[in-house]
């Protein structure tokens, strides 16, 4: 398998201390592209990130994040858009921006602040939605817990094959 990795503009590593423990944090300003690599330290990225077939340590992304066949190991905060395909998110994910998810799994809570959310063939533990009033669940979508609209009442449009095991809080459901 060919491995490639590109980091443009600026890159530096610093050590952050949290309650006496040291943890390496990778800070990047610019563009990150990687295929078949592991970017496993937690990161703070200002810019666009595209990762394919590897692992990502999570952290904060201020910009767009595109993941294909990537396992995210820790909490992830995205201020921008997230496009995920065939990816696994091990910890909590918070998104302030758009989300396109296809055949991905969110093992912990997913919190989204966006105007519209569309999830295709995706598995989610619990889903909290701010700002959006419409949620589209397509394909074989599964929510193991609840869907909660936090700012206003919402509507969940449920496609064939999708199922919600928990409750819809502050919203209603309709078949597509």
Q: Write out the chain's pLDDT in tens, 176 residues.
A: 445 444 443 333 333 333 444 456 778 888 888 888 788 778 889 999 999 999 999 999 999 999 999 999 999 999 999 999 999 999 999 999 989 999 999 999 999 998 778 889 999 999 999 987 788 899 999 999 999 999 888 899 999 999 999 999 999 999 88
Look at residue 29 in the predicted model and tell me its pLDDT: 87
Q: Whose structure tokens read 């006496």?
A: 20
In 48-158, DSSP assigns E strands to: 49-56, 59-62, 65-72, 76-79, 82-85, 88-89, 93-96, 99-102, 105-106, 110-113, 117-120, 123-124, 127-130, 134-138, 142-143, 147-149, 154-158
Whole-number pLDDT of residue 23: 52
The whole model's pTM is what?
A: 0.84
Query: For position 61, what pLDDT does the model report?
Result: 94
Q: Where are the alpha helices (DSSP H) in the chain?
A: none
Distance CA 64, CA 103 (A): 19
Domain boundaries in the chain?
A: 4-108
**pLDDT score, position 8:** 40
> In angstroms, how far is CA 24 from the centroid of its own chain?
22
- At 128 the three-state DSSP class reads strand
């Amino acid at each position: 398998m060919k491995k490639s990795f590109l980091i443009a503009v600026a890159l530096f590593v610093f050590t952050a201390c949290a309650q006496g423990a040291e943890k390496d944090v990778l800070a990047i300003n610019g563009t990150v592209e990687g295929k078949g690599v592991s970017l496993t330290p937690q990161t703070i990225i200002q810019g666009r990130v595209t990762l394919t077939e590897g692992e990502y340590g999570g952290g904060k992304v201020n910009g767009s994040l595109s993941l294909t066949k990537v396992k995210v190991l820790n909490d992830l905060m995205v201020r921008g858009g997230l496009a995920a395909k065939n990816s696994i998110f091990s910890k909590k994910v918070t998104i302030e921006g758009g989300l396109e998810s296809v055949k991905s799994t969110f093992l912990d809570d997913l919190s989204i602040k966006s105007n519209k959310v569309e999830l295709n063939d995706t598995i989610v533990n619990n889903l909290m939605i701010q700002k959006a009033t419409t949620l589209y669940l397509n394909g074989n979508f599964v929510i193991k817990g609840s869907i909660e609209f936090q700012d206003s009442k919402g509507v969940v449009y449920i496609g064939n094959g999708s199922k919600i095991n928990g409750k819809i809080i502050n919203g209603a459901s309709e078949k597509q």
